[in-house]
Amino acid sequence: MDDFLAARAQMAMSLGFHIIFSCVGMVMPFLMAFAHWKYLKTKNEVYKGLTKAWSKGVAILFATGAVSGTMLSFELGLLWPEFMKHAGPIFGMPFSLEGTAFFIEAIAIGFFLYGWDRFNKWFHWFCGFLVGLSGLASGILVVAANAWMNSPAGFDFVDGQYLNIDPIKAMFNEAWFPQALHMTVAAFCATGFAVAGVHAYLIMRKKNVEFHTKAFRIAAGFALIGAFGAPLSGDIAAKSVAERQPIKLAAMEAHFETEKGASFVIGGIPDEEKEEIKYALKIPKVLSFLVSNDFNSEVKGLKDFPKDEWPPIAVVHYAFQIMIFFGVVMIIIGMIYLYAVFFKKEWLTRNWLLKTFLYATPFGYIALEAGWTVTEVGRQPWIIYGIMRTADAVTPMPGIQYSFYFFTAIFVSLSLIIIFLLNRQIKMVPKLYDPTDAQFNSKNKKS
């Protein structure tokens, strides 16, 4: 494996893992705060148990997200020093604000986890809520930095020099809002479905049914917000990509010829050599409509761009298809669930509905990772779109492949341990968290 490829692989893997932990860290606290709020309102001890159970999950995943984030802040320089040398001062603003948000998150989580019965109950509740709020702010700020790489702003690029730097303008770049919105919604969707799926499975096991049903309902509610919000925010994001990075849009759709009334391509196998796509389902004029609300507008094709500026078409296209597919599936599940809530209450306890949610556990995260693949791979060969190529940014140090193997081992073992730990948390629900269970022993718990 050559160093450049190894560096990209290592970065992709680190980000891929970090995204999972950080999305949980962004959304899980809201689920937790919601359950906590229910407890404070209803005084139902089950909600208190649920809040505590979820807060342990938050603690484990937050710590993992924090260390993987620390690692990323170093990896940027370890792998891409040439990029950071120039980009740091321009796109660093959101990072310095994110430092604050992250710090507040860490403080709030300390208050929340160790603050039961020590503080005013609403202050305590607010700390839990604040964990989510600052987590969300962190996420949105980091996305601003990524958006800048897609839509560089806040400097003049003259003869290879980065002049007239304005970090505030760089932060408020054009891609920020659409990307951050879509990412936030997707985080809710992914976490909601993941949590709902786990609790659906536990309901089916017929243990602690009331506890898990309450958990399932809350998580499913959050999943719905995400599932229905995703196409709306996705539409905004797609229009923005079409305007700023037409080549990325063309790659997403494997759209080779520039044409008016372009069709929306579903599936198919893109062939970069022959510049065509085979076996695809094409819906006439829809792509034109999606990017500009006009069925006959012109959509630029890949052939209009020099070939050395093409991103890897197949990867981007497939990732985009995967994202859309799972997105649509989640919307359908969401509609069935909504229908059940309003018209067919008895469906809610049926095994088939629970099973559907169980299978959907990873769907949100698959879509999320696929979406990020579209964003990141679709930007290639650029690290700063149109300004600096990724290949020019890589570290001069040889032997990065060993670093890649090393970090792969770390991440894989970390993930295994986390799955193992969360599984153990779940197994302890009867003893530690569900007050209605016969095995429940309040002395057992160490809050």
Q: Under the rule (CB under 8 A), what is the footprint of another protein?
A: 56, 59-60, 62-64, 66-71, 73-74, 76-78, 81-82, 84-90, 92-93, 95-100, 102-104, 106-111, 113-115, 118-119, 165-168, 395-399, 403, 406, 410, 414, 417, 421, 424-425, 427-428, 432
Query: Cβ–Cβ contacts within 10 Å for residue 4, how many?
Result: 15
Instruction: Considering the complex, state which of residue 294 and residue 392 has its C-beta at the smaller distance from another protein.
Output: 392
Instruction: Considering the complex, state which of residue 59 and residue 340 has its C-beta at the smaller distance from another protein.
Output: 59
The helix or strand, by DSSP H or E, that contains position 156, with its residue range, turns out to be: strand 156-158
Instruction: Considering the complex, state which of residue 115 and residue 327 has its C-beta at the smaller distance from another protein.
Output: 115
Instruction: Considering the complex, state which of residue 46 and residue 265 has its C-beta at the smaller distance from another protein.
Output: 46
- The dihedrals phi and psi of 2, each to the nearest 5 degrees, come to -80, 165
- Tokens representing residue 253 in the block: 């759709």
Instruction: Considering the complex, state which of residue 73 and residue 439 has its C-beta at the smaller distance from another protein.
Output: 73
Compute, in degrees rounded to 10, the torsion defined by CA atoms 330, 331, 333, 338.
Answer: 140
Q: Which of 208, 230, 199 is nearest to 360 (CA)?
A: 199
Query: Cβ–Cβ contacts within 10 Å for residue 206, how many?
Result: 8
Q: How far is the CB of 140 from another protein (least distance, A)?
A: 15
Residue 279 neighbours by CB under 8 Å, 6+ apart: 267, 268, 269
Instruction: Considering the complex, state which of residue 176 and residue 193 has its C-beta at the smaller distance from another protein.
Output: 176
167, 148 Cβ separation under 8 angstroms: no
Q: Output the CA–CA distances (angstroms, integers) from residue 178 to 24, 247, 322, in the order listed.
A: 21, 18, 20
Q: Which of 307, 397, 31 is nearest to 39 (CA)?
A: 31
Largest CA distance in the chain: 74
Strands of 15-143, DSSP E: none
Place of tokens 């609300």: 293
Query: In a 3-state reduction of DSSP, which class is residue 377?
Result: helix
User: Residue type for 131, please?
Assistant: V
Q: Which of 372, 271, 276, 350 is nearest to 314 (CA)?
A: 271
On the CB side of 326, CA atoms within 13 Å amount to 24
Instruction: Considering the complex, state which of residue 13 and residue 410 has its C-beta at the smaller distance from another protein.
Output: 410
- Tokens representing residue 325 in the block: 């597919």
Instruction: Considering the complex, state which of residue 106 and residue 225 has its C-beta at the smaller distance from another protein.
Output: 106
Instruction: Considering the complex, state which of residue 166 and residue 275 has its C-beta at the smaller distance from another protein.
Output: 166
